[in-house]
A and B are shown apart, each in its own frame.
Chain A
Amino acid sequence: MSRNRDRLVRLDDGERILSRQQVEAIAERVFRLAQGGGETRVRVESWWQGELRWGRNRVSLASDRRDVSLSVIRGQPFGADGAASTNQFDDVSVEAAVRAAERALARQDQPPKAEFLPQLPKLELPQSSIWSDATYNLTAEARGEIARSLVDSAEQKGMLSAGYTEVRAASYAELSSEIRAGKPARFETPYAAWTHAQCSMTVRDPKGTGSGWAGLSSYDWAKIDSSALAERALDKCIRSRNPVSLEPGRYTVILEPQAVADLTEPLIWKLDRIRTEQGDGPFVLAGDDALGLVRTKLGLKVVDERITLSHDYADPALGIVPRVGMGTGPISWIDHGVLTAMFYGRTYALRQLGDNYGVRDPTGYRMSGGTATPDEMIRSTKRGLLVTRFSNVGILDQNSVLCTGLTRDGLWLIENGKITKPVKNFRFTESPLFVLNNIEQLGPPTRVFRPTGPAGQLTPAIVPAIMARDFSFTSLVDAV
């Protein structure tokens, strides 16, 4: 990884993102150009993205894009500031950005100088390895070949396919002149670079009676077996043709890992300590009138004891972009069913808990599992449904996290331990908390397709297949 980034000189030489040395050099140039004292913060971002999209077995988009961004923030540490941005790094443009930031600062209400402010506690930046040369070096030609093979596999079976393949690399740094000078300031975000890759494919029967999907995301393209994905999507499509209608109701379900991740997504963002202490969400216990605060369910059992929801920078399978101000060690939000932590920022940690670090949100998590294979789960099911994935999952009730959404791309009826027939899609109305409290069996945790979170950040997840009872399907859906 470092070999590639260290030899970057200029983006226009054909390289894709800025190297650490380039970012440092840009920051030094900006620091020198600043006039009038105060703090200068330099935020340098660069990204590259190669993508390929196809539909009805024909490529509709193939692109290779990149950009850089320099933001200059001038002001006082902890005080008002002015900012300006540019994506041109020549001397004239950089100086213009600095002057623009200083003009913006001059228009702000100025707080008093506060030289007495104490030095901040030191922060340790967690390290993680989320760089993949396989991702970074996947050329447009290679992406084209991959797409061709995926399309061919569907076309040979007389099916229609659509899909998307994307590889990305990015770098980010936010550097402070004050911290460089050993003075109090907020913090720096040292240079970090990362990669990301994703591939997903939907295969449809030309008559529109069956649909199969498979997808995976990872920082490392080498960990994505596109041929296996294509095979899986094709197989699901063929097996899901000509579905029958079932009555809505409560069914035992076997949720494949992708369906578990889709369903869990709304829940994990409720692990917000500050919002919970404001009285929002499922982890509110009760208001405490005597103390004038809201009690949370911290320390209480909230889901099945086989469930542990955790996060670790060092988990290579997760591949998490580090963030300043958050702890460096592993975190368990839910440990054997007990709510043990919720995420919060550094300010809250310092003020309310006397800690130096916040607890990170579940942008990247691992859910514990079991040993049951899909076949074992199916064999032990008298009557139930096998769910490939969910789509359009939305929250109906914030406090119980009651959600609704649709099954998609493969739903089958299981009778007496065997898959007997494909079933038309359902709308479900269910809470992930309910599901996680009605677990029958768990499969081994598996990396799933989870390319971006609510804010567009990378959100890797590793979750098991879950067999749960009494899952509520509320209506039939015509779409395949």
Chain B
Amino acid sequence: MPLHARVSKHASKRRGSRTIRTLSLVGLSVALQVHAATAQTLLAPPDTAPDVGKYTTLEECVAATYRVSEQLTRHERVGVWKDTLSWNVKELSTPLPEPLITTAQRCSARYKAATVPLSGFSLLLPLYLIANRDADVATLLSRRLAAIASRSGASKSGATSVASIDGERIAVLDSAFQAYMQAKPSRLPAAESLTTAFDRSIPRPMTAKPAREVMGMYLALALKDQTLDDTIGMRKFATRTIALLDSLAPAERSIVREQMGENTGYDLFAYSAQIAKAGIGVLLDSLRASTAAYVALQAKLWVDATGERPEASGFPVGRKAPQLIGTVSGHAEDGGPRPVPGKINLVVFIDGECTDVVIKADEELNDPSFCRPITSSLRRFAARFPALEITIVDRTRGYFMYTPPPTPEEEAAYINKALEAHDAPGTTVVGTTGFFRLPAPDRRLVAKKELPNFTQYSFGKSWPSGDGAAFLIDQQGIIILPTGLLTRDSEHLFVGMIEALQARRQASLGAGSPGR
């Protein structure tokens, strides 16, 4: 993993863990570790020219580069409110800061790809890429693969024998692939070349282990192209993924399914590939036509991908959005139902992270790394779509900060103020959680399992409705796009869907008939 990606991953550890459970319909669950665009800053860049001469080992060299990266990233985090900037595909092609490249180049100069011990393979890959020594990455990779081949193929002459495609080789190729994919600027051509070569080297019929790896690489390339709005690339890689899936013998496919996990991993993988192959544009076109067409297309893609019934997906697409119940405050205190009938609605769930102000042992107000991205996403939506009805859903917990147990109304008022402090737009609905207290001497306050609104929006536990879960709902109250976590990376899909819904409404207004 490149150093800058490690830094970014470290900084957004909590977000990352949530991203795992994000099951966005169109594969947006694959989080992209991206950096903010260079922008105006409040502080001068720090001195980032360490004396690398005193670092004698590879680990020290990597650590020195890491420190420079950390300094720059931290500086960027402080100086740039990157989460107020919408997604920009150019971020992936933005060069790394010069001090970081210089440090990596100076520090890695002593490590010649042709002679360096292979024990440093995993550390050197990202270091070479930061130093823009791409040719050395290829050299090092070749040496590493040759070493494996010479060991495992000692008794066989062919380098592409089944024996040579062992776990170690796959792991090495995966490391190189991940390094290319996470490098900045993006090394997609190198990643594609590596994947294609890997694919061609695998004897047919393909067995489960290499198949799973190469399919994962293709799908990752497809999703990366989706992020880059490269429709052709996305379809190309998605098609290869599906072709490989289809080519598997039933027994091997069963193994792959078992390894990925039947109900989540494999099905979602296949479904994401189908979506990528179809293209986002097709989905948006169907949504512009009607919600019914969109829902039917989603169901068809699911059936095509998994061979299962549409209901088995667990996705609440096409379901009627339950009405939210609780204390309503914010911009629309008219007491009307939410989601608002006849309007496009965005419902976002917040459970604890933003408003539970002493959730952590160190008793900080909250963790901005989680709360701020959501509220800033919502601010961007509000600015771009003034007619969009945004509803933030929270629930009472029986306490607020240090206060003695407040009434639900008091707690709702505190929660609303906490969200106001984040400049969260829209209307807040705070549901009243039912509690009971265990008898003495235990006396614990226990929340009832039925959580207001959260339970209804989990659709029989088939969908996560915790922190950051978001639902785009059309004018008829039908759920169009659910996501387990609203992130900056997934915003553009919501934007596309909202624009499609708005376009349909405008068209229907022009035609004088409803769009559904």
Contact = CB atoms under 8 A, between A and B. Distances in A.
Interface of A: 76, 78-80, 106-114, 116-118, 120-121, 186, 277, 291-293, 295-296, 298-299, 340-341, 346-347, 350-354, 356
Given A78-B401, A298-B442, A350-B404, A112 B422 contact: yes
A113 B405 CA distance: 23
A352 B445 contact: yes
B414 interface: yes
Given A78-B401, A107-B78, A118-B403, A347 B363 contact: yes
B86 interface: no
A468 B443 CA distance: 35
B418 A114 contact: yes
A350 B441 contact: no
B114 to A, nearest CB: 42
B358 interface: yes
Given A298-B442, A352-B444, A118 B400 contact: yes
Given A350-B399, A350-B402, A114 B445 contact: no
Nearest to A339: B441
Interface stretch (B117-125, B212-220, B365-373, B506-514): B365-373
B423 A112 contact: yes
Given A76-B365, A109-B369, A116-B414, 18 more contacts: A78-B358, A79-B365, A106-B78, A109-B368, A109-B372, A111-B364, A114-B365, A118-B403, A121-B402, A121-B404, A277-B444, A292-B449, A293-B446, A350-B399, A351-B445, A352-B443, A353-B445, A356-B404
Contacts of B399: 350-351
B18 interface: no
Contacts of A186: 363
A292 B446 CA distance: 9
Contacts of B357: 78, 114, 117
B16 to A, nearest CB: 16
B21 to A, nearest CB: 19
A148 B369 CA distance: 61
A293 B365 contact: no
B364 A79 contact: yes
A296 B441 CA distance: 10
Nearest to B421: A112
Categorize the interface residue count of chain B. 35 or more
Contacts of B423: 112
Contact of B421 (A116, A121, A293): A116
A112 B366 CA distance: 9
Nearest to A109: B368
B364 A118 contact: no
A78 B360 CA distance: 11
Nearest to B443: A353
B443 A107 contact: no
B396 to A, nearest CB: 12
B35 interface: no
A121 B403 CA distance: 7
B156 interface: no
Contacts of A299: 440-442
B371 to A, nearest CB: 8
Contact of B401 (A111, A118, A293, A354): A118
Contacts of B442: 295-296, 298-299
A271 to B, nearest CB: 13
Interface string B404-420: 11000000001001100
B331 interface: no
B441 A340 contact: yes
Nearest to B404: A354
Given A78-B357, A296-B442, A116 B417 contact: yes
B421 A118 contact: no
Contacts of A118: 400-403, 414
B406 to A, nearest CB: 9
Most chain B CB within 10 A, of A117, A296, A298, is at: A117
A111 B363 contact: no
Contacts of A117: 357, 365, 401
A128 to B, nearest CB: 25
A347 B363 CA distance: 9
B368 A111 contact: yes
Contacts of A350: 399, 402-404
B257 interface: no
A272 to B, nearest CB: 14
Contact of A78 (B365, B397, B445): B365
B374 to A, nearest CB: 13
Interface string B295-309: 000000000000000
Given A116-B417, A350-B399, A353-B443, A109 B364 contact: no
A105 to B, nearest CB: 11
A48 B445 CA distance: 45
14 contacts: A76-B365, A79-B364, A80-B368, A109-B368, A109-B369, A111-B364, A112-B422, A112-B423, A114-B417, A114-B418, A118-B403, A299-B440, A347-B363, A354-B405
A411 B358 CA distance: 51
A78 B418 contact: no
B448 to A, nearest CB: 9
B149 to A, nearest CB: 48
Interface in B342-377: 357-358, 363-366, 368-369, 372
A290 to B, nearest CB: 9
A291 B442 CA distance: 14
Contacts of A79: 364-365
A292 B444 CA distance: 13
B358 A347 contact: yes
Contacts of B400: 118
B243 to A, nearest CB: 45
Contacts of B401: 78, 117-118
Which 10 residue pairs of A and B lie closest in terms of their CB atoms, listed nearest first?
A112-B421, A116-B417, A351-B399, A78-B365, A111-B365, A109-B368, A298-B441, A79-B365, A120-B402, A299-B441
A308 to B, nearest CB: 15
Nearest to B447: A292
Contacts of A108: 78
Interface in B20-43: 43
A351 B398 contact: yes
B9 interface: no
Nearest to B449: A292
A274 to B, nearest CB: 10
Contacts of A293: 444, 446
Contacts of B365: 76, 78-79, 111-112, 114, 117
A116 B417 CA distance: 7
Interface string B73-101: 01001100000000000000000000000
Given A113-B421, A116-B417, A351-B399, A78 B364 contact: yes
Interface in B310-338: none
Nearest to B439: A299
B365 to A, nearest CB: 4
A355 to B, nearest CB: 9
Contacts of A110: 368
A109 B402 contact: no
Most chain B CB within 10 A, of A291, A295, A352, is at: A352
A379 to B, nearest CB: 40
Contacts of B443: 352-353
Nearest to B11: A109
A353 B404 contact: no
A346 to B, nearest CB: 8
B392 to A, nearest CB: 15
A114 B363 contact: no
A341 B443 CA distance: 11
Nearest to A338: B441
Nearest to A78: B365
Nearest to B417: A116
Nearest to B397: A351
Contacts of A346: 402
A113 B441 CA distance: 39
Contacts of A111: 364-366, 368
A361 to B, nearest CB: 15
